[in-house]
Structure 1
């Protein structure tokens, strides 16, 4: 099932703005004039600065907010509902949009969705449908058909109030990209850009970390580094020892037994705070 992005994640409110996503340098630009209502679709500009020679495929999958239907949008922003699925899951219709070649840009339109924008290099992603909806890639599963594909995704909600967009790296760290918003004056604010050398530096650091952390890295048979799984999946699949986080967790628990933890979850609501301590072994 498709997850719904919440505004608490890397919130980017873009009513009256243009927005931007970067897929390995790819830039998505969207938005209406500042005084206008949010239109039914907005333009999304994709610039491919990956330097990779493979074809780039883009997908816009989500829930149409006006009806609650799950489906996909084509390059013009037209919605297509998923057909009924099956058990075992049946192949989904080809929802791919041809992305730009390296160094090039293309513009598509996105409708009022809550969903995900996937992108993949070299091969199209394999999506399936069950009786309950869409089956999305789960590359922690060795038999997932997308395991050997280099891909990533961003999550967003576009509704009557504006755009909420985040560059998720929760499930895995993979093909780098950035997201942002383009203001009415043409200037762009973006986030998610890595520091120079940061991508390779991340994987090198994992390889050098004792305790099995290098096992999170998935590499294709041709040597292409595809991703690093989130530690949760590493523990679940046995790539990491089940107790790998125990020392860290214990130190955090000890700290907040005597120190108050303060959480301010909303950037636009600085007065909203939550407080907690560990008491009796419970937070």
Structure 2
């Protein structure tokens, strides 16, 4: 009897140890990459500021050619043939306007500077959020690890359930807060929905995902209890359920901050466009009055 208890305790300790080691390994490598990327982005921001100053000082296309070439190799090349603002498509469009050498050189130049200023602000805010995001992730890893340890103790030590299949399935479900893929960004359709007042669209997606995972977890526990004829003890798992909910909440807060950052960026780009349109409309009105 004592040997069985010792074996179960050792099994749960091994599972917890493996999980914590994997988390520590991936976190270590991710932090190293983050330091490298942070330094590269700092140098990139300095280059963009210098290019913006050179663009401001330009008085014609010949003066602006060199800064534009430098700018092209420092923005997202995938945005040239798309309408995705997140891929700098709006910046590419202004560059093309300047290259056509039309009469709106000054307007296009000022719009480009506004876009670059917004891009710098966006990148700086993103850098700060990534640092905060690491804090969110560290807390999330600890909560997930605590969930696994508590679950292993209840499953293997207190209830002594023998089925390995349900055990592995439940472990995977409880790790979903850290293994679910992150959002790559936000598209213009979501931004339009936000402007219309449907800002809870992301929250609704989070609630759906969390409810599905909780139902899967509860379902696996109920099946396991039925399988081992211990249905009356299923309430022992309330603590892992609460910890799983906390894990999803932390994950939501982390993703939601990134979501807001994307929304604000797209809104600022839209405001820059509207400002330029108003200025052009005003200038055209003045020209029309002079011609009368």
Which structure's residues are more often strand, by fraction?
1
Q: How high is the TM-score relative to the length of structure 1?
A: 0.24
1 or 2 for the larger relative contact order (CA 8 Å, sep ≥6)?
A: 2
Q: How high is the TM-score relative to the length of structure 2?
A: 0.23
Which structure's residues are more often helix, by fraction?
2
